[in-house]
Each structure stands twice: as C-alpha cells, then as structure tokens.
Amino acid sequence: MSTAKTSHLPSVSRRTFLRVSSAVAGGLLVSLYLDWPALAQQTSAPKIYPPDAFVHVRPDSKIVIQVNRLEFGQGVQTALPMLLADEMDADWSQVIAELAPAADVYRDPLFGIQMVGGSGSIAHSFEQYRQLGARARAMLIAAAAAQWNVTPAPCRAESSVVYGPNGQSAKYAELAEAAAHLPVPENIQLKKESDLRLTTKDVRRLDSRAKCNGSQKFGLDLDVPEMKVALVAHPPVFGAKAKSFNADGARAISGVQEVFEIPLVRGTGVAVVADRFWAAKQARDRLRAEWDTARVERPDTAQLFAKYHELARTPGNVAVARGNANAMDSISPANRILVEYEFPYLAHTPMEPLNTTVRFDGDRAEVWAGSQFQTVDRIAIAEVLGLKPEQVTFHTEMAGGGFGRRATPDSHVQREAATIAKRLRGTPVKLIWTREDDVQGGYYRPMHVHRVEMGIGADGMPAAWRHVIVGQSILAGTPFAPMMVKNGVDSTAVEGTADTKYNIPNFHLSAHHPAINVPVLWWRSVGHTHNAFVMETLIDELARRAKADAIVYRLKLLSPDAKKLRACLALLEEKTASWRNSIARHHAVGIACHESFETGVACAVEVSIEDKRPKIHRATITVDPGFAVNPLTIESQMQGGVTFGITQVMSRGAITLKDGRVEQRNWDGYTPPYMKDAPVMAEVHIVPSTEKPSGCGEPPVPVISPAIVNALSRLTGKRYRTLPLTEI
C-alpha cells in the first residue's frame, strides 16, 4: 500500500463496526467489532458481546489504547498502539497501552478467536488498528469543527490537538466528550504509508522501563485479598490416575488448607491448597501417592525412534506429489544421497512458570492469566464452572515468555485452576505449575524422524526428491484439525518443506503421524524448526558437492517468485562480504535461509569450536517482513529468535522418556542457551519494503541451527543429522 486508501467495509454501523459512547469523566471510547471472515466462520460462529474500548482519551490528555493480544516479550504492546496513534495523530508521549480482557470484540480479525500465534499480531491487525486511529481522529476533528461552526475539511490534527482554519485549536481531551456523541464515519481515509511519522521509527517499548526496574507485574506476581496458592501432583506417566494417596504429612505443614483429588485432561491428580507457595510446595513434596500406570502407554524414547525409523522407510500420507514419482529410478546410485534425521521432544520452559488465578462466586467468575488463547481458555473455565463465557471476567496478564506454551487447545492449566476454585467457592486460587511440573508434565514439540533420498542432476542441482516425515500430529483432536489436517497430513508437521521455495522437480513428500501417549504442542515456529534444518543442511551439502558458493547456489535453486528470500540473500551477501572471506583460522561460516509466516530470513554465522561446543562469534541476519513496523522491535525479535533457536543444538537440549517418565526435571537436565552460547555480535538488517507486514516473532528461529551446523561441517568434515549436538 503506497497511496492513500479510502477504507469502506460493508454493513458499517454503530452496532456492526464502531461503537462510540461517553466514558467516565467525559472520555472518548472507541470500540471495534468485526464481521468475521470466512476462515473464522469455519471455526465457530462467535456470540458477540457488547464491545469494550480500544481508545480512551482521558481528561488529563492521556490516551489509553487497548491491545487485543497477549504481550509476552514480542513487543506488540508497543507496535499496535503505534499504528493507532499514528493514524490518530496522537501525542505518543501521552499514550498508555493496556492488555485487553477477553471479549469477542478483541478477537483476531482473521483467526476468529482472541489469541497470539502464527506471528499474526501485526499482520492481522495492521489495518484494524489504523482504521481505529483514523476513525477516532475523524470524530475528534468533527467535534472541533462543530464547535467552531466550520466544516471538517479545513481542520487538521497534530500531536493530540485539532487546529482550525482561523487559528483555533483544541486538545483531544477537550473534545472527547462531544466526539463520543457523534456518528461513526463509514468511509475513512488512511494515510499514505510514506506519511506515517511514528510507525516506521525506532521506538522504545512502553513496557521497557517497568521490566528493567522490576516494577512490571506478571501473572505470577498477582496477589489479591484472601488468595490461596495451589499446586497439583501430576501422575508420573501421562494419563495415569491416582490409586490412593496419603496426605497426613502434607496436612501437617502450617498453612495448608486442603488436599484433594481432581480430574485432569489426562488422568487424575492431587491438588494441594495453602496460604502461600512454599507451604504448598513443601506439602506436595510430603504427599504420598500411588499411581495406576498399568492402563496407559509408557513411551520410551529409544523405542520410539526405532519405530519412527521403521515407519520412515514406508510412504506416508501424501502431502506433495510433484513431477514424476519414478524419476529417482533413472538416476545412478552414485548421484543419489539417502539420509535420515532425528529430532527430539523439546520443552518451552518460559521464564515465568505457568499460572492462572480464578475466583468462583457461584454465578460469576474472575480470572487472571497470561494466555495466548483467551477465547479458548475463557470458554474452558466457564465449562468447568457450569457458567456461560460471558459470566467469566478474564483479565489478560503480562506474561514472561511463552513460545507457544500458553496456547493450549485443551486449556489444561486453566481447567485445573477452575476445578480447584470450584471447590473453594468465593476464595481466589492461584494455580502454579513449577518449572519441574512443566518440564516433566508436557507439553512438547513432537519428536521427528526424516528420511530423504535425493537424486542429483548433471548440473549439481536436485533432480528428484523423496521425503518422509514421521512425528505426532499437534492438531489431531483439536478444533483446528478440520481446517489444517488434509489427507491425513498435519500441515504444521510439513510446513517449510511442503511449501519450500526451492524449485525442486519431481518432489514427493509424505508423512506418518503415530499416536503416542505424550502431549504435544506448537513450539516457537512449529514445524519450521525441524523442516528448515533438514532442507537447509541438505541444500548446503549439495552446494558443497557442486563446489558452489552457499549463497549463489541457493539463489540459483530458489523459485523466481521467492522474492523475499532472494532479497534477504542479496542483502546478506552485501552485508557479510567484508568479513565472510577473511575469518580467523579454525573459524568457519555457515549460511541458512528460510521463509515462514510470509517472512523471509537469511543468516550467516561465524563459528569456532570451544570446549567441544560451538562458539558463535558473529551472526548477521537479514529479514524481509514487508512494511516494517517499529524496526527496533523487529531487530529485537530477530536477535531473541535466533538465540532461542540455539536451543535445538544444545548438548542437553532434549526431552527424553524412559518407561513413560520424562527423565529431565529442570534446567539442569534440559539446558537452554546461556549467555556464552549467544552470538557475540548479532547484526540485523531489514529489507526495505512497501508490501503488507508479516510476522517477526517466529521466523528467525528456524535459520540459526542449520547455519551453525553448516559452519561446523566445514570445520570438522562431518554432517550432523541428529539434534541436539551431543558430540561435535
């Protein structure tokens, strides 16, 4: 979008698009209601409740903007208000951002539920928040024009002030009450994107100061009067039930209120409720429970990998069938490569442990949670408590990371919290999942095995490609399955391979999804994590076999329409040319690129080996996210994303099971990247673009591990096909 745009949506009215009303003390309240697109209608037909505010101009000139997403480090609490404030011509220094509660009005315009996921916050709400700002501005100008007895045309707004044709001026705060009584304009004119003054600037996050000085409160910090803290003893094997338990030792701890069995999404558990966390923790440690594990599958990692490798040797359900299925047969064995890859279960381990606080009053409930799925969690809590969703007030709390872990279709944490609160009617209960609970109790990125056979043409390019992926389906049995599981193939398991941007003829991809008694969930960038690793290490291997430059080879193989990846690689070549060919002895450079969530990312890393582990001296990341909203946030997302992605190669970066039990308990056994593992220097360069914005939270994750491994292969001469890297 490069020119001014007149926005008009059908059936616009006070009830179906914007509602304007007077707020307390004469503020301006602007709320958005969307007619959900076809995709959302396929999931469910949402009941629409009275919409809440998006914009509130206070008498003190502060402008409070509601953010319809969870903020958990990605910067959306700043980026979305920037869009609205820019169109509104608001004084940014007066803007306050608040996380919106759960309500239909705050549902994602595309997904149809209130959520954060798929790197869709800016991509889906880019125009939504601009329209809100433009409509608010138009109403304030109209109020000023009416006050001055002129038409709105000669009036203009700047920095929360409306200026008239005869030298008049009025602050937004002075106009808010009058504006609240005006009709909502159906047709608005958005600014040219080149005229956006704030959106394209590097803007520090609104929550930065509070997070740096420790004053920011997260869900875990919540403390309401008479609140109790609950922990749950979960079964050691998924789905097991408590045969019996002895709570005498637990009840002997001072402050313990109740100990009782509760149903879980899988099996049963024993809840311990106390005045404070430490009392609940000590009591749970003293609980003596006997579990019935005989009736549930007890998976074992070694056995699962053996089973997966066996499945990988047979074709699965077809995901892609392009070209001649028998093309491989005409390629000589000397020009074929047959490889298998292994990827383990991975945990999310966000910094803030999972938690949810619920107060149930019989006919109402109040909830505080850092949720990626507010709509889903609110409905689940209502179901447990025998309420309607509108009887549940759901406060979105700031969350300390998530990486997909706070977006569970079964809402198991919230269901547990509601079940406990139901028993303690009238008393607020904060349920906490400790780090040990989360590491040992799921949910995980599925483990996978890939089997790939490549046939190489005379030009050194792949001429045939057979690929089988084996791994659990994340979507099976969830509301997302009807849309995202086709021909028995979970789209999240094959993304990044099924839609590869490489122009590979005779390309055949299939998948097996065995049902395993391990709960699985999307992990930041989901299937792209393992699929990008396979594709980018194999493409790099082919480039070396052809004695071609890693970037040149990729550019030659990419489809002509892979514009974003081509732009990223070209910019990467430009930004790294000065150092890629003059690195220190015993150092090597690795290259990788990948497109996910409509964003292209390319990465070059300079790596050496220190203490038998990779040392990343430098990383250069180029990204094409379309129109760049707050480049400073994009830079942070790229740097944070590649550091998170290093998790895949950490020597103890795997969740393993023995006789159905997870062997790791905390960060001592499941090790995240430490400061010494992060790149010493991480430069980010954004491809200039006027295309619509796309996601940035997840796209950097897939490129870092293949780039590291490609560099290591140059140092050691080995090819690494199993993660994590236990040996180099």
Alpha helices by DSSP H, 504-587: 528-545, 550-557, 563-580
Kindly report the average pLDDT of the chain as a whole number. 92
8 A C-beta contact, residue 383 and residue 376? no
Residues 6+ apart with CB under 8 A from 234: 264, 267, 269, 437, 440, 441
Tell whether 647 is covered by a domain.
Answer: yes
Query: The domain spanning residue 392 has which CATH number?
Result: 3.30.365.10
Beta-strand ranges (E) seen in 234-312 are 241-246, 256-263, 268-274, 288-292
Tell whether 300 is covered by a domain.
Answer: no
Give the strand order in the sheet containing 161-163. 156-158, 161-163, 169-171
What does residue 39 show for φ and ψ, rounded to 5 degrees?
-60, -45
Q: Does residue 391 surpass a pLDDT of 80?
A: yes
Q: Does residue 218 surpass a pLDDT of 90?
A: yes
Full domain range(s) for residue 249:
219-293+354-432
8 A C-beta contact, residue 444 and residue 669? no
User: Residue 724's closest CA among 444, 401, 447?
Assistant: 447
Do 544 and 636 fall into the same domain? yes
| pLDDT score of 15 | 26
Range with the lowest mean pLDDT among 32-41, 257-266, 286-295? 32-41
Neighbours of 639 (CB within 10 A): 18
Task: Give one DSSP letter per residue of 9-22, joined into a string.
Answer: -TT-STTTTEEEEE
Range with the lowest mean pLDDT among 41-45, 53-57, 423-427? 41-45
Q: Does residue 327 surpass a pLDDT of 50?
A: yes
| Mean pLDDT of all residues in 711-724 | 97
Range with the lowest mean pLDDT among 40-49, 251-260, 334-343? 40-49
Tell whether 186 is covered by a domain.
Answer: yes
| Mean pLDDT of all residues in 380-392 | 98
Packing angle, helices 412-423 and 374-385, rounded to 10: 30
Instruction: Look up residue 109 and give its two tokens.
Output: 């315009």
| pLDDT score of 616 | 98
Tell whether 305 is covered by a domain.
Answer: no
| Mean pLDDT of all residues in 511-533 | 98
Q: What 3-state class would DSSP assign to 377? A: helix
pLDDT tens digits, residue range 46-88? 332 222 369 999 999 999 999 999 999 999 999 999 999 999 9
Cα separation, 446 vs 473, whole angstroms: 8
Q: How many residues does the chain have?
A: 728
pLDDT tens digits, residue range 90-134? 999 999 999 999 998 899 988 889 999 999 999 999 999 999 999
Percentage of residues in the chain having pLDDT higher than 70: 93
Do 385 and 498 fall into the same domain? no
Based on the structure, what is the number of domains in the chain? 3
User: Residue 453's closest CA among 443, 442, 464?
Assistant: 464
Do 422 and 472 fall into the same domain? no
Tell whether 599 is covered by a domain.
Answer: yes
pLDDT tens digits, residue range 466-489? 999 999 999 999 988 999 999 999
Range with the lowest mean pLDDT among 171-185, 298-312, 360-374? 171-185
**Which residue did the predictor score with more confidence, 14 or 87?**
87
| Mean pLDDT of all residues in 517-534 | 98
Do 449 and 585 fall into the same domain? yes
Domain end point (choices 213, 237, 258): 213
Q: Does residue 43 surpass a pLDDT of 90?
A: no
Do 30 and 110 fall into the same domain? yes
DSSP class of 362: S
| pLDDT score of 93 | 98
Do 205 and 236 fall into the same domain? no
Tell whether 298 is covered by a domain.
Answer: no
Strand 256-263, strand 268-274: pairing? antiparallel
Q: Does residue 637 surpass a pLDDT of 60?
A: yes
Residue type, 183: P
Q: Does residue 16 surpass a pLDDT of 70?
A: no
Instruction: Look up residue 238 and give its two tokens.
Output: 């998924």
Do 187 and 50 fall into the same domain? yes
Instruction: Look up residue 195 and give its two tokens.
Output: 């005229």
8 A C-beta contact, residue 605 and residue 682? no
Classify residue 676 by burial, with Cβ atoms within 10 Å: 0-12, 13-18, 19+.
exposed
Tell whether 518 is covered by a domain.
Answer: yes
Q: Does residue 39 surpass a pLDDT of 80?
A: no
Hunting for tokens 């039990």 — which residue is that? 661
Q: Does residue 387 surpass a pLDDT of 70?
A: yes
Q: Is the pTM of this model over 0.75?
A: yes
Do 250 and 338 fall into the same domain? no
Domain end point (choices 432, 465, 497): 432
- pLDDT band for position 370 (cuts 50, 70, 90): very high
pLDDT tens digits, residue range 446-464? 999 999 999 999 999 999 9
Do 400 and 528 fall into the same domain? no
Do 485 and 411 fall into the same domain? no
Instruction: Look up residue 454 and give its two tokens.
Output: 């490549």
Classify residue 719 by burial, with Cβ atoms within 10 Å: 0-12, 13-18, 19+.
middle
| Mean pLDDT of all residues in 261-283 | 98
Taking the alpha carbons at both ends of the chain, their separation in whole angstroms is 48
| Mean pLDDT of all residues in 389-410 | 97
Percentage of residues in the chain having pLDDT higher than 90: 90
Domain end point (choices 412, 432, 452): 432
8 A C-beta contact, residue 230 and residue 429? yes
Tell whether 303 is covered by a domain.
Answer: no
| pLDDT score of 18 | 25
Cα separation, 343 vs 530, whole angstroms: 7
| Mean pLDDT of all residues in 154-162 | 98
Residues 6+ apart with CB under 8 A from 590: 540, 604, 605, 607, 706, 707, 708, 709, 710, 711, 712, 713, 714
Residue 480's DSSP bridge partners are none
Alpha helices by DSSP H, 89-171: 121-148
- pLDDT band for position 23 (cuts 50, 70, 90): very low
- pLDDT band for position 512 (cuts 50, 70, 90): very high
User: Residue 651's closest CA among 623, 681, 674?
Assistant: 674
Do 449 and 423 fall into the same domain? no
pLDDT tens digits, residue range 567-626? 999 999 999 999 998 999 999 999 999 999 999 999 999 999 999 999 999 999 999 999
Q: Does residue 208 surpass a pLDDT of 70?
A: yes
Do 143 and 233 fall into the same domain? no
- pLDDT band for position 283 (cuts 50, 70, 90): very high
C-alpha distances in Å from residue 301, one per residue of 305, 520, 660: 6, 14, 9
- pLDDT band for position 183 (cuts 50, 70, 90): confident
